[in-house]
Structure 1
Amino acid sequence: MLTYTTYSEAGGVGKSTLAANLADAHAQQGRDVLVIDLDPQQGSLTYLLGISAPRDNGEADNIARHLIDRPKGNFDDLVHETPYGFDIVPSHNMLESLPKLLSKAEEMAEDLGESFTPNDRLREVLVGAKVPENYDTIIVDPPATAGPHLYNAVAATRSLVLPVEPTGKGIQSVEGIQDMVVNLEDALEIDVGVLAIVPNGIGKTADRDQYLEQIRELGHSAPVALRDRSSLFDGCWDQRCTAYHYVGYHRNRRRDYEVETLDKLRDLAAHIAEVGE
């Protein structure tokens, strides 16, 4: 089974865009994919994919309720089909209060003499709902901040796919990846793997080659580098769809460089599946 978390310590590097398009690429390659959106921001993966979910309805069942063991229905009822061949568990505004809610749930469990592990709840929920029996690929997209959203994502998936920006700050982020992974492993008491680092928004070919060389010198896998495709990915957010859908249905003519980017995303998905299982 393939499971991973898309994560970046910096915002605005294409984390959710990458998650959406990898999910689409995996589905094209015949995989049964479930994406879980743990990001409480309005502009999250749920928004990008055009999913209509009652995120502002506090009475509605949602993933946060299941994480604190206060569901209002079956986990299966949280799952939405997308037009792209994969499923999603959408975000909800209640995720904004997840740290506080998990702390309260842990305190209540302790008072009752019950076991409750705040950072392992997503894995427990997925196993309890028999999700691994219905999907062979799970992608979790948490916010770009450390905390219970990230910890639950990593504890459930044990692997990371990391987009980075082609700047000096991006290289610093790459250099800090090992420390980040060690910190996650210490906090969660598990082993965490990095399946791929994905340079996103590369400019000139010389810059790309230099950037990839620096990443690989640090001992990380960077199977592809994505050129600056602002028009393509901004269009995805405008139309609320994946890049594959955008090129297929919203472009009035073929752009070879965009088709090349889609092919690279498929190659990346295939690489992640090969090393991640």
Structure 2
Amino acid sequence: MIPYTVWSEAGGVGKTTFAVNLARAHARQGQRVLAIDMDPQDGGLTHHFGVDENKADSESDNLVLHMIERGYGPFEDIIEPAEEGVDVIPSHNMLERLEEMLTKNAELEEGTNPDSDYVYPKEKQLRRVLVDSGVINEYDTLIVDPPATTGQHLYNSVYSTSNLLIPFEPSPKGGKSIDGLRDVVNGLEDTLEDIEVGVLGAVPNRTKGTNINEKYVAKLEEEELPIAPISIGERGSMLGDAWDNQVSIFELAENDAYRSLRDYEEPTLDQFDQLAEHITKQFEPTEVKA
């Protein structure tokens, strides 16, 4: 299993774009991919894959209900087969109340548990659902897309994957998210207690090869976090058109109407393929020499 959460505490750095296109890149490698949208905001991964028809339906079964053990049916029934070989657990408006509902569940569980020292593990509920349902065994790759803010959306995402991929923009705008990033990762480990959070890489996004870019990449190196060997260039045309059309850049490139754009943006396709391959290699068994 290749599990990771795509996250940055700075908004607007391409978090969901990375999750969408990496999901497709992994599928292109023949992997069975499950993408989980933990972000309650509109316009995210769920919308992109076109599986948002039940997002505002208060009567529909959804991820939050299963996390508080109130699901209407089998957990696998909420998984939506999306385009391009990727399955999706979509976002639902109830995610806006996730923290509140987990807290209420904790009060109930702790109040009725005979063990006075029992603490309900709010941050472990997504992983519990995935493991107990057996869904986790049906896929090769698990990608989770939480909101940029900290809280139970992020905690459950990271606890279920134990790994982070961190897109960042090497610019004054994105530089604010670099300061203290190692402390943020360490803070997640302290909060989650019994897991070690692996950083698969910080990935420079919207790079232009300028001195400013290099300055902020160097700044990230000071945080002692691994930097992915692949960076994504400033390719607004393809990424923007793919987002508008609710497809990945790979599906967009297969459309003859975008042939000229495809030729210009070919490096972007290669970079996401290479990044997915780089991530995959980090989970391959290490050969032990005799």
**TM-score, normalised via structure 2 length:** 0.90
- Matched to 1:202, the amino acid is T
1:221, CA displacement in angstroms? Answer: 2.2
Secondary structure of 1:174's counterpart equals coil
Secondary structure of 2:127's counterpart equals helix
Aligned 8 A contact 2:181 2:223 in 1 = no
CA deviation profile, 1:184-239 (whole Å, cap 9, x unmatched) = 00000121010011111112355555544443454322221111111111112210
* Comparing 186-195 and 48-57, the one that deviates more: 48-57
Looking at structure 2, the residues matched to 101 and 129 of structure 1 have their Cα atoms a distance apart, in angstroms, of 21
Looking at structure 2, the residues matched to 52 and 188 of structure 1 have their Cα atoms a distance apart, in angstroms, of 30
Partner of 2:274: 267
Partner of 1:4: 4
1:251, CA displacement in angstroms? Answer: 1.0
Question: Rg larger in 1 or in 2?
Answer: 2
Aligned 8 A contact 1:166 1:211 in 2 = yes
Secondary structure of 2:5's counterpart equals strand
1:253, CA displacement in angstroms? Answer: 2.6
Out of 138, 154, 173, the residue aligned to residue 150 of structure 1 is 154
Partner of 1:241: 247
Q: Give the unaligned 5+ runs of structure 1.
A: none
Partner of 1:117: 121
- Matched to 1:183, the amino acid is G
CA deviation profile, 1:149-182 (whole Å, cap 9, x unmatched) = 0000000000000010121343342342210111
User: What is the aligned-residue identity percentage?
Assistant: 44
Tell me if 1:226 matches 2:226.
Answer: no
Partner of 1:193: 198
Partner of 1:164: 168
Tell me if 1:176 matches 2:151.
Answer: no
Partner of 2:132: 128
Secondary structure of 2:254's counterpart equals helix
Q: Matched residue pairs, number?
A: 277
Secondary structure of 2:84's counterpart equals coil
Secondary structure of 1:253's counterpart equals helix
- Matched to 1:191, the amino acid is E
Aligned 8 A contact 2:180 2:223 in 1 = no
Looking at structure 2, the residues matched to 254 and 98 of structure 1 have their Cα atoms a distance apart, in angstroms, of 41
CA deviation profile, 1:66-112 (whole Å, cap 9, x unmatched) = 11111011111011111111111000000001010101111111222
Tell me if 1:258 matches 2:265.
Answer: yes
Looking at structure 2, the residues matched to 31 and 276 of structure 1 have their Cα atoms a distance apart, in angstroms, of 13
Partner of 2:287: none
Secondary structure of 1:30's counterpart equals coil
Partner of 2:16: 16
Looking at structure 2, the residues matched to 77 and 14 of structure 1 have their Cα atoms a distance apart, in angstroms, of 29
Secondary structure of 2:98's counterpart equals helix
CA deviation profile, 1:9-46 (whole Å, cap 9, x unmatched) = 11111100100000000010111110000000011100
- Matched to 1:251, the amino acid is Y
CA gap 1:255/1:147 in 2 versus in 1, 3 angstroms? same
- Matched to 2:87, the amino acid is D
Aligned 8 A contact 1:164 1:198 in 2 = yes
Query: What RMSD in Å do the two structures reach over aligned CA positions?
Result: 1.7
* Comparing 79-88 and 148-157, the one that deviates more: 79-88
**TM-score, normalised via structure 1 length:** 0.94
Partner of 1:49: 49
Aligned 8 A contact 2:22 2:272 in 1 = yes
Looking at structure 1, the residues matched to 32 and 161 of structure 2 have their Cα atoms a distance apart, in angstroms, of 16
Partner of 1:93: 93
* Comparing 216-225 and 71-80, the one that deviates more: 216-225
Q: Give the unaligned 5+ runs of structure 2.
A: 285-290
Looking at structure 2, the residues matched to 112 and 143 of structure 1 have their Cα atoms a distance apart, in angstroms, of 32
Looking at structure 2, the residues matched to 179 and 267 of structure 1 have their Cα atoms a distance apart, in angstroms, of 28
